[in-house]
Amino acid sequence: MNEQVLRSLLNVEAEQSISKVQIFDEIDSTNSESLRQIQAGATENRLVVASSQTAGRGRRGRQWLSPKNAGMYFSLTRSFSLEASALQSLSLVTAISVVEALHELGAAKLTLKWPNDVLYEKRKLGGILLELQQKEATRFLVFGIGVNIDLPADSIASIDRPVVDLQSIVGELPAPEALLAALLNQLCRNLNDYERNGFSNFSRRWNELDCYRLSDIVIQNGESRIIGKSLGVGADGSLLLQTSSGTQSITSGEIFPSLHPLS
Ligand code: BTN
């Protein structure tokens, strides 16, 4: 990854959002590094990117396998002036940004699984881990994004769910700088839009990409399971679930397809 090449490909929104770029050959986790830097007093908005991660982290305490050059692994840190409740919808905006950037690069037919898994034919192509961190009076948000580019067969075999990489979807892989710039350009443009106008511009876009909308699903949240029909996301980014006791607004949990159609 070459910083100059990357910078030459950034749009105005991304250029203005990223004061500092740090490129690592190997690191434990770009999110962990970003959080450490906040704790050490770094205040500028910045990007941490690595060719490999030894302790890549996913949502719900999962591991994110990150072999060298097999994926794009990066974290964008921005100071954050919104309410913590905005986190939910921001994670959806981030997922939309990843899909829009990859569509621009020729990856067609990508979908989303609430809250922010990026899928191709129901296999996972990318994931997002948002972390909020307070340092003195300032709150920072770390947008951690991982996209599978060219996964080795042993990694595919060792991941406990269906995964896919960009290599299998597009005819020709973009250069790493072009891929990262496309992701950052779309993300920064959408984050600025979100900061000005909120989630309203995004709920329709999210619902159009949702692969489980109007499907029967199970939401698992710890020990609790709720069964219903997904109605897509509401105005605040929560998932609307039509259940036997009415429509519920779900703010956390994981979707599983229901094995049996619900009556
Ligand atoms: C998920 O579980 O779907 C989220 C995966 C997020 C992985 C990315 S890779 C870059 C950044 N650093 C991490 O340790 N995790 C995120």
**Helix or strand or coil: residue 189?**
helix
- The Cα-based distances of 100 to 138, 174, 206 in angstroms read 30, 15, 11
pLDDT at 263: 40
Does ligand 1 come within 6 angstroms of the Cβ of 254?
A: no
d(CA 14, CA 60): 29
Does ligand 1 come within 6 angstroms of the Cβ of 71?
A: no
d(CA 64, CA 55): 7
Does ligand 1 come within 6 angstroms of the Cβ of 144?
A: yes
pLDDT at 262: 43
pTM, full prediction: 0.94
Locate the ligand 1 atom nearest the alpha carbon of residue 29 and give its number.
14
Mutational test site, ligand 1, from 37, 73, 179, 184, max ligand atoms within 8 Å of CB: 73
Q: What are phi and psi of 183, to 5 degrees?
A: -65, -45
Q: What is the CA radius of gyration of the chain?
A: 18
Structure confidence by residue, pLDDT tens digits, 57-66: 999 889 999 9
**Helix or strand or coil: residue 103?**
helix
Is residue 159 a contact partner of residue 65, using CB atoms and an 8 Å limit? yes
Flag residues of the chain having pLDDT under 50. 261-263
Is residue 138 a contact partner of residue 62, using CB atoms and an 8 Å limit? no
Locate the ligand 1 atom nearest the alpha carbon of residue 50 and give its number.
10
Between the CA of 1 and the centroid of ligand 1 the distance, in Å, is: 19
pLDDT at 137: 84
Locate the ligand 1 atom nearest the alpha carbon of residue 74 and give its number.
10
Does ligand 1 come within 6 angstroms of the Cβ of 56?
A: yes
